[in-house]
Amino acid sequence: GAGVSQSPSNKVTEKGKDVELRCDPISGHTALYWYRQSLGQGLEFLIYFQGNSAPDKSGLPSDRFSAERTGGSVSTLTIQRTQQEDSAVYLCASSLQWGESEKLFFGSGTQLSVL
Amino acid sequence: AQSVTQLDSQVPVFEEAPVELRCNYSSSVSVYLFWYVQYPNQGLQLLLKYLSGSTLVKGINGFEAEFNKSQTSFHLRKPSVHISDTAEYFCAVKINNQGGKLIFGQGTELSVKP
């Protein structure tokens, strides 16, 4: 694909509902990141996948958040029992390899609004 | 623990003036350092990076940054800004004993006025 693709671009949900956000990284990229961008909060690291290694989940804010990456490609970020404070832009990024190349390609994000 | 701090949330500047956006990181081990830029209504893109070697790195659009290990800083500079430089700028650090995750600062909103 031409770039990192995220879907949906916008998601409006009611408090307490579960949501799934999808990320299609650039083909061949082994590293995949999820970040959350809120006004005045910068980019908050959520989770990082690198190849077949165990993901780094240290940024997930609560156990309502989880993510998986199937077949080393597509990733899904799931938020259970959404809360209003979960409202933010969720960004996915991928890179070719861990190490010297070190350039992240970002998707356009999913704007999540929890009412 | 906060790994990277951007000291200014907003920097207003007039066109053709010089600008410096400040970034400090906290780490006692080796790091990789980055600046990303997010133009209005666009995705983030890499501006420049420091991995090793020369401490002065040059990026796109006339920006440069200098790695200062003793001050744990990686400030971004441009000698003369344009209106089109108006954007949000993010400093980021990868601490090389923490498995590879890239941590971003809070961002600095650069606003260039005519």
Which domain covers residue A30, as residue numbers? 5-102
The alpha carbon of residue B44 and the mean position of all alpha carbons in its chain are separated, in whole angstroms, by: 12
Q: Count of domains in chain A?
A: 1
A103 pLDDT band (50/70/90 cuts)? confident
Strands B87-95 and A105-106: unpaired
Give the CATH number for residue A34: 2.60.40.10
The residues that bridge with B19 in the sheet, in sequence order, are: B78
Q: How far apart are CA B104 and CA B4, in angstroms?
A: 7
| Domain assignment present for A115 | no
Share of chain A above pLDDT 90, in %: 70
Q: Any chain A CB within 8 A of the CB of B74?
A: no
Look at residue B111 in the predicted model and tell me its pLDDT.
97
Q: Report d(CA A35, CA B102) in Å as an integer.
A: 10
B13 and B110 Cβ atoms separated by less than 8 Å = yes
pLDDT value of position B66? 95
Q: Residue A83: inside a domain, yes or no?
A: yes
CB contact, 8 Å: B51 with chain A?
yes
Nearest to A71 by CA among A95, A47, A93, A49: A49
Of B44, B49, B90, the CB nearest to A102: B49
What is the predicted pLDDT for the residue at B3? 83
In a domain, A109, yes or no: no
B102 → closest Cβ in A104, A107, A109: A104
Say how far apart CA B19 and CA B83 lie, in whole Å: 13
Question: CA nearest A24: which of A75, A61, A83?
Answer: A75
Q: Say yes or no for a CB contact (<8 Å) between B102 and A33.
A: yes
Mutate to test the interface with A, among B4, B44, B93 (most CBs of A within 10 A): B44
| CB proximity B60 to A under 8 Å | no
For B62-85, the pLDDT digits (tens) are: 999 999 999 999 999 999 999 999
Query: Domain B4-113 sits in which CATH superfamily?
Result: Immunoglobulins (2.60.40.10)
pLDDT at B98: 64
Low-confidence stretches of chain B (pLDDT < 50) are: none
Residue A80 domain-assigned (yes or no): yes
Identify the residue among A50, A96, A102 best suited for mutation to test binding to B, counting B beta carbons within 10 A and taking the highest: A102
Answer yes or no: is pLDDT of A101 > 70. Answer: no
Which residues in chain B have their CB less than 8 angstroms from residue A107's CB?
Answer: 43
